[in-house]
Structures are given as structure tokens and as C-alpha cells.
Structure 1
């Protein structure tokens, strides 16, 4: 989480909304072999108390996650911000970004909980892409589905802490934010400053 409080969302539900909309996270944990990370689709519970995900059984994290403290990071949009976009020359480049960190202890899901997670994931994302008819596991051979679910391991992390960062130039004036937006769109806002600073070139 960025230390500047200006980059912490004021709306209590904004971090939750971003987790649900993005739906994909990096899962970090310490292991005897050192820190490890895995990347997985996630399901946030309705009460935002837990985050579920699954990993390939062969992933090194699966042997160490159950009962361990984990960190899940949902990464949103990000972009470079050129210092030349500001009217004040005494600035440095920076990076705007959106990131939601969630920390908690993970537990391994049983088979029925894993299948329920997969059903929830597919239903949500099939609806998002407007699939008609949506894919469901009922379309699969049950024996093959069971074999494939045997190759993954499901987890649920009880969220003990949320640490969102929404860094979108909120520490700048409204005018500077407009210039950053213009720069991000490729509108080259720095040209106006160059002309103003060197009127003899007109």
C-alpha cells in the first residue's frame, strides 16, 4: 500500500468492486524454499470476508498454503506519468496505478467446495462475456471433469486486512490531473508549457 493517504479510496466498496471486476490475483506466501507467487482467478464472498482461488496441484505453493499467511494482490490499470506533463518544471516522473492487497490465513478446500468455486467462477465469467448458452460442467463427461479437478487444489483465504491503493494523481491540482489525463491519451499537454516558457519562438 502506498504510504500517502491521498491514494487510499474513500469509498468502502471501491476495493471490493475492483476485486470483483478484475477477478484475477497474484497469491504470495513464504515457503521453506523462499517466497513464492502464483496467479489465479479469484472469488470474493458476498460479505467480502473470504477470497477463494485454485492452483495447479504441481504449483510449489500448494504444498505450503494451508494454514499459512498469504497475500493476494489484484492489480488494476497502470501507466507512466511524464514530469513534462506538469506545468511546474520542478517535478519528477511517476507511475499511476490501482492495486488491492488482501492478507489472511489460507485453508485448503475439500472436493465439494472446489467444485462449487469452479461453478461460481464459470457462471460469473460466462455471464460477463454474454455466452449463449453459457458453459457449465454439465456439458462435460463427469469422469473427465473429476480427473481434471484432481489436477488442481482449491483454497480459501479469510481476509484479515485490506490495503487498497488507488494512485491517480489525487495529490495534484485539478488542472494538473487534466494534463496527466491528456498526456495519457497522447494529446501532448507539454507543448503548451513549452510555448508559454519560450514566447520568442512564436
Structure 2
């Protein structure tokens, strides 16, 4: 994570909200074959753990049970031009971004836990889709679902360490932050502009 302590915002509820809103991240683990990463959908249990699933054939899968792993969820981000400052000759471009790291021991889920995880994952994400009736796993052919379940493995991580970076021009005057947020809005980066306006400097 970024070393500047000004970019910390240790509000656990906010961090869990970011994990839930993004819903997808990267899982890193050290293995006998070297460092490995898997790209996974992530669900926060809201009680200090996250759940995810990985393809059984993924090289990282057989090394996760009992391992300490690192999960990373990237929130909104955007390039910031030096021209957006009052004195661009005394500035350089930068990048504002949100990132949440979670570290902890991993345990494998039982089959019923995996099925419940997939139901929860589906329900949460179907609720985001506008129009039409949300799809439910019960609509799928049970034999087909069972076949797919055999191809994935579910895991839960007890998050022992949360590390966040919320680089949103902290330390700059409020007027500068407001101006940068306006420029971000113009570039279509409304999510990070909103966070810049709503989180304290």
C-alpha cells in the first residue's frame, strides 16, 4: 500500500462497502511453484471474512488450504493532469485511486458452503441489473449446476489485516480538491470524484 499515512481511512464498514461494490479482485499466494495470482469474484461476509471461488484446474487452488494469502480489490481510479492545477508548471501529473488489501488464513469450504456462496454471489449481482426479473440458480438444470460445481473450489479467508489506500489529493487545499473533482466528473470518473468530495481531506 502507499506509504503516505494521509491516504488511510480505517473505516471498516467503508472498506467492506468497497469490496461489495466492486465484487471482484485478485488473490495472491506464495506456492512451491512461485508466486501465483487468481482473479476471483469476492463476497464480504460483513463479519471479518471474505469468500471466493477458484477454478479447480487453476495452479493456485491446490496451495490455498491453510495458506496465508493476500486479496486485493481495486476501486475507482483516474489519471489527474497537471493542467488541472492553478499553477501547472509547479505540478506533475498523478493518479488518484482506491485499493483495499486483505490478508489472512484461507480455509476450503464444504460443498454446501460453496453452493451457499454462489447463491449469495448471484443474488447480490443480479440485484444490480436494471429491468427484468433477477435470475436465480434454481432456474438452471440441477445436473448442469452440479457438473459446474465440480470444476470449482470455494474458500473463505479470515481477514486478519486490512490495508487501504485512498489517494484522493489529501493535503491539498479544499478548493484544489473541488476543482480536481470537477475535472474528474468531466472525464467520466464520477465515482472517484464523489469519494474525493465526500471523504475528508
Tell me how far apart the structure 1 counterparts of residues 183 and 176 of structure 2 sit (CA, whole Å).
10
Question: Which residue of the partner structure matches residue 55 of structure 2?
Answer: 56
2:123 paired with 1:85: no
Q: Please tell me the root mean square deviation across aligned C-alpha atoms, in Å.
A: 1.7
- Per the alignment, residue 183 of structure 1 pairs with 183
Q: What TM-score, normalized by structure 1, do the two folds share? A: 0.86
1:60-112, Cα deviation, whole Å (9 max, x unpaired): 11011111111111101111112232224322221100001000111111111
Provide the rounded CA distance (Å) in 2 between the counterparts of 1:64 and 1:29.
Answer: 8
Unaligned stretches of 5+ in structure 1? 188-202
Residues paired across the two proteins, number: 186
1:68 aligns with 2:63: no
- Tell me if structure 1 keeps the 8 A contact 2:76–2:98: yes
Match of 1:136 in 2: 136
Gaps of 5+ in 2: 188-201
Q: Distance in 2 between matches of 1:19 and 1:139?
A: 27
How has the CA–CA distance of structure 1 residues 119 and 185 changed in structure 2, closer, same or farther, with 3 Å as cutoff?
Answer: closer
Q: How does 1:7-156 map to 2 (within 5 A)?
A: 7-9=7-9, 11-47=11-47, 49-88=48-87, 89-130=89-130, 132-156=132-156
How far residue 146 of structure 1 moved from its aligned partner, in angstroms, is 0.5
Confirm or deny: 8 A CA contact 2:16 2:46 kept in the other structure: no
Judged with a 3 Å threshold, the aligned counterparts in structure 2 of structure 1 residues 70 and 186 are, in CA distance, closer, same or farther, namely same
